[in-house]
Amino acid sequence: MARAFLSSGDMIADRRSSYADMLFESGDHAAAADLMRQALEIVPQWAAGLFRLGEMEAAAGEHDAAARAWNRVLELDPADRFGAALKLAAAGHAKAPHTPPTAYVETLFDAYAPTFEAALVERLDYRVPELLANAIHASAPGRQFRSVLDLGCGTGLMGTHIRAAADYLAGTDLSDAMLQKAAEKHVYDSLAKGDVNELDAASNSADLVIAADVFVYVGDLDQAFANVARVLVRDGLFAFSVEHDAGDRDEPALQSSLRYTHSEAYVRRLLAEHALVPVSIQREQIRLDRGEALQGLIAVAKAN
């Protein structure tokens, strides 16, 4: 995460940081942390460098030192663009936040946008848009949707799969860079910056709402589901994916990847609380993660 940011502003510190990264990638985590500390002696208020130092210290087994580094990042950057609060929680030094910092998600995907599709589709066998499109069509064969809202649309991968079934297709995303990539596909009728937890779409304005691989960066889904239920017309469909929590916990679980998993029991409970009736919930392989198949839930629900 830290490497996506601008330099420290000091050439010597940047050079030491670059060497530290090389040592880290070679597996010498302790030496990498030591060299990064030397860089930070020159620029002690460099939040990106401190965040990276925490990662190196954690990998070297210096967990208390890593926590100190990440806490210092939060002091320097209260908006938490780096996700230091998530790192602290994943490492057991703090309670997991209900939702990740908005600035973290926005910054992450602004940095990720140029390589997003190549990383997911070409290298990680990303299948969520295809799986959701198939689930939607199976749930409503031949249905043409008057108004479709693609939440967290990213670069528009979902849009290309649903365009033919949508009279009007709108996309929202937190990341300006992602929205620019989506605009280049020319499949959306409108694109706007927006947060699923602060959805300002009109009530009863959509007959299909989609959230493809979005909720892993939302955490607590109560507000998002409430917003979707408000926006949907009667008998409108809500199609979404989550990374599956095999522990069947009744709350989101933050993983070391800094993504949240959700159990089927949690999903079903929230759907019921917001008058959304499950049409289908299928467990599927959604992509690869470190060479291993990652399981997710592909769900379609209907508004009462």
Do 141 and 91 share a structural domain?
Answer: no
> 147: buried, middle or exposed (CB in 10 Å: 19+, 13-18, 0-12)?
buried
Compute φ and ψ for 157, nearest 5 degrees.
-60, -40
Residues 6+ positions from 71 with CB-CB distance below 8 Å: 84, 88
Mean pLDDT of the chain: 94
Does residue 109 belong to any structural domain of this protein? no
Predicted confidence at residue 78, as pLDDT, reads 96
Neighbours of 164 (CB within 10 A): 10
Q: Is residue 110 situated within a structural domain?
A: no
Residues 91 and 126 in one domain: no
Element (H, E) at 206: strand 206-211
Q: Are 211 and 196 in contact (CB under 8 A)?
A: yes
**Alpha helix ranges (H) inside 27-165:** 29-42, 47-59, 63-76, 84-90, 102-112, 116-117, 128-139, 157-162
Lowest mean per-residue pLDDT among 3-12, 20-29, 35-44, 133-142: 3-12
The amino acid sitting at 36 is M
- Asked if the model's pLDDT at residue 216 lies above 60, the reply is yes
3-state secondary structure of 76: helix
* Integer CA distances (angstroms), 9 to 17, 44, 48, 84, 304, in order: 12, 12, 11, 21, 56
Per-residue confidence (pLDDT) for residue 3, from 0 to 100: 45
Burial level of 121, CB count in 10 A (0-12/13-18/19+)? middle
Structural domains in the chain (count): 2
Q: Which residues contact 10 (CB under 8 A, 6 or more apart)?
A: 42, 43
Mean of pLDDT values over 259-273: 97
Provide φ and ψ at 241, rounded to 5°.
Answer: -125, 155
- 80 & 151 share domain: no
Q: 237: buried, middle or exposed (CB in 10 Å: 19+, 13-18, 0-12)?
A: buried
pLDDT of residue 292: 86
**In a domain? residue 84:** yes
Same domain, 182 and 61: no
Average pLDDT of the segment spanning 28-33: 98
CATH number assigned to the domain comprising residue 19: 1.25.40.10
Tens of pLDDT, residue by residue over 77-113, are 999 999 999 999 999 999 999 999 999 999 999 998 9
Residue 125 shares a structural domain with residue 261: yes
Q: Is there a single domain that holds both residue 48 and residue 158?
A: no
pLDDT greater than 80 at residue 259: yes
Lowest-pLDDT range of 115-119, 212-216, 234-238, 254-258: 115-119
pLDDT, residue 2, reads: 41
Q: Does residue 155 sit in the same domain as residue 40?
A: no
Q: Are 236 and 303 in contact (CB under 8 A)?
A: yes
Going by pLDDT thresholds of 50, 70 and 90, the confidence category of residue 43 is very high
Assess whether 203 and 122 both reside in one domain: yes
Same domain (yes/no): 154, 204: yes
pLDDT at residue 123 in the model: 85
Q: Residue 33: helix, strand or coil by DSSP?
A: helix
Residue type, 195: D
**Would you state the pLDDT for residue 90?**
95
> What whole-number distance in Å separates Cα of residue 72 and Cα of residue 222?
31
Residues 260 and 126 in one domain: yes
Is 237 part of any domain?
Answer: yes
- Distance CA(274)–CA(267), nearest Å, equals 11
Residue 5's pLDDT is 53
CATH number of the CATH domain containing 272? 3.40.50.150
**Residue 1 pLDDT exceeds 60:** no
Whole-number pLDDT of residue 122: 79
The fraction of the chain above a pLDDT of 70, given in percent, is 98
Mark which of 61, 95, 129 sits at the end of a domain: 95
pLDDT digits (tens, 9 = 90+) for 148-169: 999 999 999 999 999 999 999 9
Domain containing residue 80: 2-95
Q: How far apart are CA 13 and CA 231, in angstroms?
A: 50
